[in-house]
Amino acid sequence: MIYNKRLVLAHFWLAFAVFGAAILLGEWQMFIRSPLHGWLRNADLYYRSVTAHGTVMGYVFPTLVAMGFGYAFSELALRQPLIGTRWAWAGFYLIIVGTLGAAIPVGLGLDSVLYTFYPPMVGHASYYIGVVLVVVGSWIWVALMGVNLYAWKRAHRGAPVPLAMFATVAGAYLWAWTAVGAALELLFQLIPVALGWSSSINAGLARVLFSWTLHAIVYFWLMPAYIAFYTIVPRAIGGRLYSDTMARISFALFLVFAMPIGIHHLFADPQVGAGFKFLHSVFTAMVSVPTLLTVFTICASVEIASRLRGGKGAFGWVKALPWDNPQMLALALSFVMLGFGGAGGLINMSYQLNSTIHNTQWVTAHFHLIFAGAIVIMYFAIAYDLWPHLTGRAMGSLRLIRTQLWLWFIGMIVLTFPWHYAGLLGMPRRMAFYDYTAPGGDTEALTVIMSVVGGAILVVSAAIFLTVLWRNHRAPQIAPEPYTFSKPVHEPANLPWALNGLGLWVGLMIALTLTNYGFPIAQLMRLHEAQVPAVYVGGKP
C-alpha cells in the first residue's frame, strides 16, 4: 500500500498543474510564429514564453513526476513506509520555492535566455538560483531512494531487490550524476557572471558542461516510462513479464551508456575536438541497445498476454490484445512515437547527417516526439494506474481516457511531422518570426499552421486528462485491490550481485563520463580564448 498518499499526490498535482500552464504557452508560441495573424510581433514575449515553457517541461514537470512516482513505487515495491518523509516534504517545498524563484524573473522579462543555458547570453541570477533549488530538492529524493533501498537490503539480506525499486533507484542515480554538469555550469559559470562578479564567461566550457546534462536528462525523463513498460503494462493487460533479467540489464545499460553522449550536440562547435565528437556519436548509438532490449521484452510480454487470452497464429495474436485497455493503448501509441522519434535520433547522432538538420525545426520535432510523445503519454498511463490507489476512488469513464490518449497521439503527430519536413527545408528553430514572403515561404507557412492545429489538439487532450483526474476525487469511494507489479514468467529466486545492486553500474557510469568529458573540460579550462564578454538579457546586474 501507499503510506504517504498526500506526499505522492502533492508531487503529481503540482507536476500536472505546471504542465497544464506550460502546454498553453507552447500552443501560444505556435500561434505567434504562424501567418494566422498580423498583430502579434513582440519577440521579447515570445522568448519569455519559450524560456518558461522549456524550463517547466524540461526540469520541473518530469522531475516532480519522477519524484512522486519514486515515492509511491518505493513504498509499494519494498512494502515499507518511506524513510525520511520530512526530508521528502522539504525537497518538495524547495522545488516550489525554486520554481517561483525562476518563474517570476522570467515573467518580468529579466530572463528571456531560453532554458538551455548557452552563454554568452546571461540572465538575472534569481532564475539560475531557482533552477539550482529545483535540482537540490530533487537530490533529496535521490538520497531517499538510496537510503530506503539500503535499509530494505539490510533487513532482507540476499533477497532479490524488487525490479520496480531496482529501476527506480537506477533512474535516481542517473539523474544525480547527469545533473552535475548543469550544476557546475550554473554554480561556477553563469551565477557568478549574473551576479556581476565577472563580465566575461568561458562559453566553450559552459557548453560542454551543459552537454553533460543535455542528453542524459532525456533518459531520466524516460525512466518512469520504461518502469511502467516493465512493471505496470504486462500486469494491467493480464500477461506476464517475459524476462526479469532482461529488464535489469536494460536499466543497468542505461546508466552506463546514457552519460557519455552529450557532445553529439556540439558537432558544430569548433572548440571540441573531432575525436571526442566521434566517441560521443558512437556511444549515442549504443543507447539504442537497452531500448531495443526493452522493445523486444515488452513485445514478448504483450504476446504472452494475448496467448493467455486465446490469441493464435504468427500475427493473429495482435488482434486478441485488449485494445480497450488504456494501458495497452498507451503502450502501443508510445512505441509508435518512440519508433519515429528514435529514427530521427539516428540522424541527429550521425556526425555527417547532423550538419543537415542542425539548429532546424527537425531537432525540435525529434525531442518533442520522444519526450512529449512517447514519454508523457506513459506519464498519463502511470497516473491512471495509480490514481485509484491514491484517492481510494473509482476511475471514471475508460472511453474518455482512451479518447484522451488518442487525441494526444494524433496531436503529437500533427505537431511534429510538419516540423520534421520544415527542418529538411532548412527552417531554423529558436526564431520568434519567419518571413513567409521569402522563396518557399508558402510551404513553410503551411507546416507552421499544421503545427498550430496539432498544438490545439494537444491542449484539448491535456484538458481532458486533468478533468479525468479531478473527477476521480469526486467519484464513489472504493476499496482498491492490493497494488501488484507485473510477474515475470520465471520469478528470480536469486540474482547475481551485479543485477541485485547498482554499485558496478554506477562505477562504470562515473568512470566512462570522466573518460569522455575529463579531457575536453580540462582543455577548455586552460583555453583563455574561449573567454568571451557576457551578453546580459534583461537582467544586467
Question: Of the listed 215, 235, 280, 420, which one is catalytic?
Answer: 215
Question: Of the listed 12, 219, 371, 465, which one is catalytic?
Answer: 219
Is 156 known to be catalytic? no
Q: What is the DSSP track for 222-287?
A: HHHHHHHHHHTHHHHTT--BS-HHHHHHHHHHHHHHSSTTGGGGGTT-TTS-HHHHHHHHHHHHHT
Question: Of the listed 430, 433, 434, 471, which one is catalytic?
Answer: 430
Rounded Cα distance, 391 and 397, in Å: 16
Question: Of the listed 235, 265, 280, 366, which one is catalytic?
Answer: 366
Is 366 known to be catalytic? yes
DSSP-based three-state secondary structure for 117: coil
Is 368 known to be catalytic? yes
Question: Of the listed 368, 389, 393, 420, which one is catalytic?
Answer: 368
Rounded Cα distance, 134 and 131, in Å: 5
Tell me whether residue 495 is exposed, middle or buried, using C-beta atoms within 10 angstroms of its C-beta: 0 to 12, 13 to 18, 19 or more.
middle
Rounded Cα distance, 195 and 126, in Å: 9
Question: Of the listed 128, 257, 367, 380, which one is catalytic?
Answer: 367
Other C-beta atoms within 10 Å of 301: how many?
Answer: 27
Rounded Cα distance, 95 and 132, in Å: 9
| Phi, psi of 239, deg, nearest 5 | -120, -160
Question: Of the listed 429, 433, 434, 471, which one is catalytic?
Answer: 429
Tell me whether residue 275 is exposed, middle or buried, using C-beta atoms within 10 angstroms of its C-beta: 0 to 12, 13 to 18, 19 or more.
exposed
Residues with Cβ within 8 Å of 235's Cβ and at least 6 positions away in sequence, in order, are 484, 485, 486, 487
Is 429 known to be catalytic? yes
Indicate which residues carry an active-site annotation: 215, 219, 366-368, 429-430
